[in-house]
Amino acid sequence: MKKIVLFSLLAISIISFANEKNAEHVMDEFREKIAKREEAKLREEQERLKREEEVRKEKELLEAKQKEADEREAMKLLKEKRRQIIDEPLEEKYIRGTDKANSYEKALVTAESRMSFKEVKNNEDPVVKKYRTNISKKYNDTNEEIQKNLAEKDKIEGQLKALDELEAKVKNW
């Protein structure tokens, strides 16, 4: 009887040991699967973030290109409008009116504005001219002050050099 009990205890311990090893193996497999899933999720998240960043950059680039195109179009329209204002014959512009006297008055007003526009274009604006004169004067004043300071610096450096030589002579005497 003792042998049967010992044999059954041995069998139970072997089976429990095998089950324990099997459980460890299963747990290791679960850990590996979980780690792989987490890595896959992390990769997917990184790829999604990368795609979102690329989409955002493309959107910004398209917006910048659209803004640049809009600015170019606006400049073209401004140039065309200026050309129309300056170059379009007044007769063609105002002769279409039913009241000829009113049309001629409008043509005269437009002609005066064109003349003043060309005059300002040919001659500098007095405010701008005054501003440039002030800037030029300030530059010249500052330049003169710098030249005076440099001359004074050279003079002081010469005096310091003479003092150093005199001090060396006194020490050696």
String of DSSP letters for the chain: -HHHHHHHHHHHHHHHHHHHHHHHHHHHHHHHHHHHHHHHHHHHHHHHHHHHHHHHHHHHHHHHHHHHHHHHHHHHHHHHHHHHHHHS-HHHHHTTSS-HHHHHHHHHHHHHHHHHHHHHHHSPPHHHHHHHHHHHHHHHHHHHHHHHHHHHHHHHHHHHHHHHHHHHHHHH-
Domain parsing of the chain, residue ranges? 1-62, 125-172
The pLDDT of residue 85 is 67
The pLDDT of residue 62 is 94
In tens, the pLDDT along 35-51 reads 999 999 999 999 999 99
In tens, the pLDDT along 4-44 reads 888 887 788 878 777 787 778 888 888 999 999 999 999 99
* pLDDT-based confidence at residue 150 (cuts at 50, 70, 90): confident
